[in-house]
């Protein structure tokens, strides 16, 4: 009999992780380490579901067996290729017949198998509770182009605890944020990726997170985490406008002009027709620096408005002329001051006041 494990033990258990749900279910959201290993295709799952509704449980089981039966030998062959040590973790939607059937097959073929208690549904319930665990957050702020992401990586390189939401979302957080990056995950998968890191972070050390709005591109930051973020002290990176423009040229200078123009068009309602057209003309002429200046006028106002809504301590840290590593050292020193002055007294009340 396979071991049936609660989510934390299942995640820590050995073995290749097989998600036997349909490809569509997997695409919507899955455990970060899981391999898609569907018992049924999308169409086959639909057929079984329709049969269950129209003809009942027994007939649906018979149809499922008829569909899966011819695939059994290939399932074993594929599992051996994925897990040469014959150790597997298997789950379906709620720990029912799909994972149970696959576990029986694999044990019969000589594999050691663990099952996820209550399946993916149980995992998602754990995600919600794990994200709600409070941890001391330091928010890394700064206007567009201050190099927050690279500084965040420098903090990680110096041993600090970091949660990089933009990296997990495949988005830099602006209208231009998806340029040159892979497609974004679903919000559900974004949460799954976040919790994988969040649950591993120590509760007695600060966690550095870049200041974000509720949405990182198309991905929504889970409320359990967002309320902690907006109630956290802000350590704000300060750079001159010229430094910021230079950093943004480094990021976007090699991007196709048409992609830059499309991203600028998305700002038309907020930037205004005249300024949007000015920025596009500068891009077309290859004068990216001036185009960036036009767009920064909008982003700077938006950032300052957002910052003023936060009723939290704000600490300015100058990065003028400093490398990312040197800036990270300055931030770590300032963080000691933050700990003494605030004690990380993050409260949900402060978050609600700031963001409703």
Positions marked active-site? 92
- Quickly count: other Cβ atoms within 10 Å of residue 205's Cβ: 11
Kindly state the tokens that stand for 177: 């944020």
Q: What is the 3-state secondary structure (H, E, C) of 142-203?
A: ECCCCCHHHHHHHHHHCCCEEECHHHHHCCCCCCCCCCCCCCCCCHHHHHHHHHHHHCCCCC
Nearest CA among 91, 96, 89 for reference residue 113: 89
Contact 63, 52 (CB under 8 A): no
* 163 backbone dihedrals φ, ψ, rounded to 5°: -125, 110
Kindly state the tokens that stand for 40: 């049924």
Kindly state the tokens that stand for 346: 């993050």
Contact 322, 149 (CB under 8 A): no
CA distances from 254 to 8, 112, 259, 260, 285 (A): 43, 50, 11, 10, 14
- Report which DSSP code applies to 313: -
Contact 145, 239 (CB under 8 A): yes
- Quickly count: other Cβ atoms within 10 Å of residue 322's Cβ: 17
Nearest CA among 49, 56, 11 for reference residue 33: 11
Give the Cα-Cα-Cα angle 252, 194, 170 (nearest 5 degrees).
20
- Quickly count: other Cβ atoms within 10 Å of residue 287's Cβ: 12
d(CA 332, CA 344): 15
């Amino acid at each position: 009999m396979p071991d049936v494990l609660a989510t934390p033990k299942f995640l820590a258990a050995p073995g290749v992780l097989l998600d036997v749900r349909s490809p569509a279910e997997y695409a919507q959201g899955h455990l970060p380490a899981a391999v898609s290993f569907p018992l049924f295709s999308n169409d086959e799952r639909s057929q079984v579901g329709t049969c269950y509704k129209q003809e009942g449980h027994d007939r649906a089981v018979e149809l499922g067996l008829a569909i899966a039966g011819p695939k059994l030998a290939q399932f074993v062959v594929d599992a051996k290729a994925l897990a040469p040590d014959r150790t597997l973790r298997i789950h379906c939607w709620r720990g029912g017949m799909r994972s149970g059937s696959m576990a029986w097959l694999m044990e019969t073929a000589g594999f050691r198998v663990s099952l996820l208690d209550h399946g993916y549904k149980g995992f998602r319930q754990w995600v919600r509770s794990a994200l709600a665990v409070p941890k001391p957050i330091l928010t890394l702020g700064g206007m567009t182009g201050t190099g927050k992401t690279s500084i965040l990586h420098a903090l990680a390189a110096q041993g600090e605890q970091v949660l990089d939401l933009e990296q997990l979302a495949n988005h830099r957080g602006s209208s231009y944020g998806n340029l040159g990056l892979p497609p974004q995950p679903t919000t559900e998968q974004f949460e799954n990726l976040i919790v994988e890191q969040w649950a591993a972070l120590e509760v007695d050390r600060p966690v550095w997170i870049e200041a974000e709005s509720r949405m990182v591109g198309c991905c929504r930051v889970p409320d359990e985490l967002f309320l902690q973020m907006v109630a956290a002290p802000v350590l704000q990176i300060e750079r001159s406008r010229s430094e910021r423009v230079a950093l943004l040229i480094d990021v976007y200078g090699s991007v196709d002009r048409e992609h830059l123009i499309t991203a600028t068009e998305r700002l038309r309602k907020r930037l205004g027709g005249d300024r949007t057209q000015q920025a596009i003309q500068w891009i077309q002429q290859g004068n990216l620096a001036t185009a960036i200046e036009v767009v920064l006028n909008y982003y700077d106002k938006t950032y300052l408005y957002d910052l003023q809504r936060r009723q939290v301590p704000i600490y300015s840290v100058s990065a003028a002329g400093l490398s990312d590593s040197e800036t990270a050292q300055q931030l770590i020193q300032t963080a000691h001051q933050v700990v003494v002055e605030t004690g990380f007294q993050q409260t949900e009340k402060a978050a609600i006041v700031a963001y409703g």
